[in-house]
Amino acid sequence: MESPLDILRRVFGYDEFRLQQGQAIEHVMAGGDCLVLMPTGGGKSLCYQIPALARPGMGLVVSPLIALMEDQVKALRQNGVNASYMNSTMGYEEFLSVSRAALRGELDVLYVAPERVMKENFIDFLSRLKLSVIAIDEAHCVSQWGHDFRPEYLRLGALGRLFPDVPRIAVTATADEITRKEIIARLDLSRGQLFVSGFDRPNINYQVVLKDSPRRQLLAFIKEKHIGHSGIVYCMTRKKTEDTAQWLSSQGIDAMAYHGGMDGDSRREYQRRFQEEDGVVMVATIAFGMGIDKPDVRFVAHLDMPKSLAAYYQETGRAGRDGLPADAWMAYGMTDVTGQLRLIEMSDGDQAFKRINRQNLDVMLGYCETTECRRKTLLSFFGDSCPVPCGNCDTCDHPVSTWDGTIHAQKALSCVYRTGQIYGTGHLIDVLLGKSTPKVLEVGHDKVSTFGIGKDLDEKRWRSVFRQLLALGLVAMDPQGYGGLRLSRESKPVLKGERPVFFRFDPEKSSKMSKIKTK
């Protein structure tokens, strides 16, 4: 029998397997189920096409898009593979001739739309065939939280029970944790294996700085590393893109604002300038990016924290497509967290939707506050791995030192408790520092036992403590986004002295920054 590698070479004309293609194919060849996650262009199709050819019988591929189906079948036929599809564009005669060919055992691969697969007569038809593999393309369509949700996908989970002897392989480029878990659960793949590869973008350097004066920090970053380069600066609001672009322009940077509120003509014109000219900085909302394929974007900066790590990965992924060094830079602070929470609260999603979004935010915050390699944190979210230390992120370049903050964590948490679990960091820090501000006096917090017990740290360090307590889940934020903190289930062991807490030292501002002048 011809081996998968022989088929790769003879039929497809490639020398070697890429990423985890080889491992996934071997697993399917042995009859196992799996979920294969690779970014677009990674080579997912071969993971099921080769087993379809190498195993006896016909491969069935469930694919949601008619155009995609037709392209794939055309490409396979050009390589001499007997491939066909069945979809709603076909007439009855054509349909009959494809099913007859399948029943005669002449087809290697058959593509079908999801709405057809689970119909009773189609299942009957399938049971009269020998199937080599069942592939589910674009498996994220099963996720109810995604943009591509297809209700018909929910029924595909039954295929495993209907055809227990046929290995099943699901593939997608959408790999975030929630989607991944949903695919595994709904497609009944929990006994299958997971193959994740290709998500690393080794030429992108990841860096997160604490917001201090974000615009100036951004300007310093651009002046230090990216004068004359093309870049994207993401902001949360339309107004902020305009203000920031104007200010950057006044500082000698060729910057333009771009957002969904602008008229179509200006949007097209700005997009064209960005695409065709060198050194344009686009200050944009997330409305900018879809359909941009400029290979030499040298940096993507975030002045506001994105809503999830998946969004962050996608947005930063627009940098350095040419493979040359590029930067993903972000400035973040506590106000980003409250801002995002408020957006979630104001959205018209239901409780489950809000809960998922809050979880996404927690993960995003964890990335910002990590003491580990950023790349590792980012990739492990996708289930992918990378060599550690990666040597191309801020925490690898300047390993973060930590300090034993157990006592300070206890002071902070007791202060949250004593003041009634409704106040934000500003007020809590005033109490810890023993400041008799009008607000402190008005609510009588100069009388609580935690008043003035935190004078050994300054305000900035306390802010860092609260941010990290939040990122570690040792304290929770009120879900309405007013910034009030309350204790979490995890707070108790800390308060009882059962759990030590280590904090990172926030990096000092780069010395180069102070040398950069603004106008």
Residue of 2, 6, 10, 14 that binds ligand ADP (CB under 6 A):
14
Strands (E), 292-363: 297-302, 326-332
Residue 21 site contact among ligand ADP, Zn ion, none (CB < 5 to 8 Å, cut-off depends on kind): ligand ADP
Least spacing, CB of residue 374 vs Zn ion, in Å: 5
Assess 43 for contact with ligand ADP (CB under 6 A): yes
With the CA atoms of 334, 286, 143 and 26 taken in that order, what torsion angle do they form, in degrees rounded to the nearest 10?
-100
Task: Please report, for residues 68, 74, 123, 284, 468, the alpha-carbon distance to residue 472 in angstroms, rounded to integers and kept in the order given.
Answer: 43, 51, 49, 31, 6
Least spacing, CB of residue 324 vs ligand ADP, in Å: 21
The interface region with ligand ADP, picked from 15-23, 213-221, 226-234, 328-336 by CB under 6 A, is: 15-23
How far apart CA 264 and CA 258 sit, in angstroms, is: 11
How far apart CA 410 and CA 487 sit, in angstroms, is: 11
Residue of 9, 18, 418, 439 that binds ligand ADP (CB under 6 A):
18
Assess 45 for contact with ligand ADP (CB under 6 A): yes
Nearer to ligand ADP, 136 or 390 (CB): 136
How far apart CA 119 and CA 109 sit, in angstroms, is: 19
Which long-range CB contacts under 8 A does 516-519 form with residues at least 24 apart? 516/219, 516/220, 516/223, 516/224, 518/216, 518/219, 518/251, 519/250, 519/251, 519/252
Residue carrying the six token digits 């066909």: 84
Nearer to ligand ADP, 45 or 271 (CB): 45
Assess 41 for contact with ligand ADP (CB under 6 A): yes
Region of residue 125 (left: phi > 0; alpha: psi -120 to 50; beta: else):
alpha
Residue of 40, 88, 351, 514 that binds ligand ADP (CB under 6 A):
40
Residue 306 site contact among ligand ADP, Zn ion, none (CB < 5 to 8 Å, cut-off depends on kind): none
Select the residue whose beta carbon is closest to ligand ADP and give its number.
43
The interface region with ligand ADP, picked from 33-41, 51-59, 94-102, 493-501 by CB under 6 A, is: 33-41
Assess 46 for contact with ligand ADP (CB under 6 A): yes
Q: How do 297-302 and 83-86 pair as beta strands?
A: unpaired
The interface region with ligand ADP, picked from 36-44, 220-228, 356-364, 507-515 by CB under 6 A, is: 36-44
Q: Which residues bind Zn ion (CB under 5 A)?
A: 373, 375, 390, 393, 396
Nearer to ligand ADP, 27 or 240 (CB): 27
Taking each helix axis as running N to C, give the angle between helix 425-432 and helix 459-471, from 0 to 180 degrees, rounded to the nearest 10. Answer: 130
Nearer to Zn ion, 378 or 494 (CB): 378
The interface region with ligand ADP, picked from 14-22, 336-344, 397-405, 491-499 by CB under 6 A, is: 14-22
Residue of 37, 38, 69, 413 that binds ligand ADP (CB under 6 A):
38
How far apart CA 223 and CA 229 sit, in angstroms, is: 10
Least spacing, CB of residue 155 vs ligand ADP, in Å: 23
Nearer to ligand ADP, 46 or 62 (CB): 46
CA atoms within 13 A on the CB side of 64: 18
Residue 396 site contact among ligand ADP, Zn ion, none (CB < 5 to 8 Å, cut-off depends on kind): Zn ion
Assess 21 for contact with ligand ADP (CB under 6 A): yes
Question: Interior CA angle at 294 toward 288 and 295, to 5°?
Answer: 135
CB 230 within 8 A of CB 297: yes
The interface region with ligand ADP, picked from 38-46, 180-188, 321-329, 400-408 by CB under 6 A, is: 38-46
* Listed residue (510, 202, 177, 236) closest to 374, CA to CA: 202
Could you tell me how far CA 518 lies from the centroid of its own chain?
34
Nearer to Zn ion, 195 or 367 (CB): 367
How far apart CA 102 and CA 414 sit, in angstroms, is: 71
Count residues binding ligand ADP (CB under 6 A).
Answer: 12
Least spacing, CB of residue 378 vs Zn ion, in Å: 9
Amino acid type, 186: R
Residue 514 site contact among ligand ADP, Zn ion, none (CB < 5 to 8 Å, cut-off depends on kind): none
Give the chain's end-to-end CA distance (angstroms, integer): 72
CB 302 within 8 A of CB 331: yes
Assess 140 for contact with ligand ADP (CB under 6 A): no
Q: What are phi and psi of 410, to 5 degrees?
A: -65, -45
Residue of 4, 7, 11, 17 that binds ligand ADP (CB under 6 A):
17
Scan residues 345-364 and list those touching ligand ADP (CB under 6 A). Answer: none
Nearer to ligand ADP, 15 or 498 (CB): 15
Residue 41 site contact among Zn ion, ligand ADP, none (CB < 5 to 8 Å, cut-off depends on kind): ligand ADP
Give the torsion sign (CA, 227, 310, 344, 463). Answer: negative
Least spacing, CB of residue 310 vs Zn ion, in Å: 19
The contact set with ligand ADP (CB under 6 A) reads 14, 17-18, 21, 38, 40-46
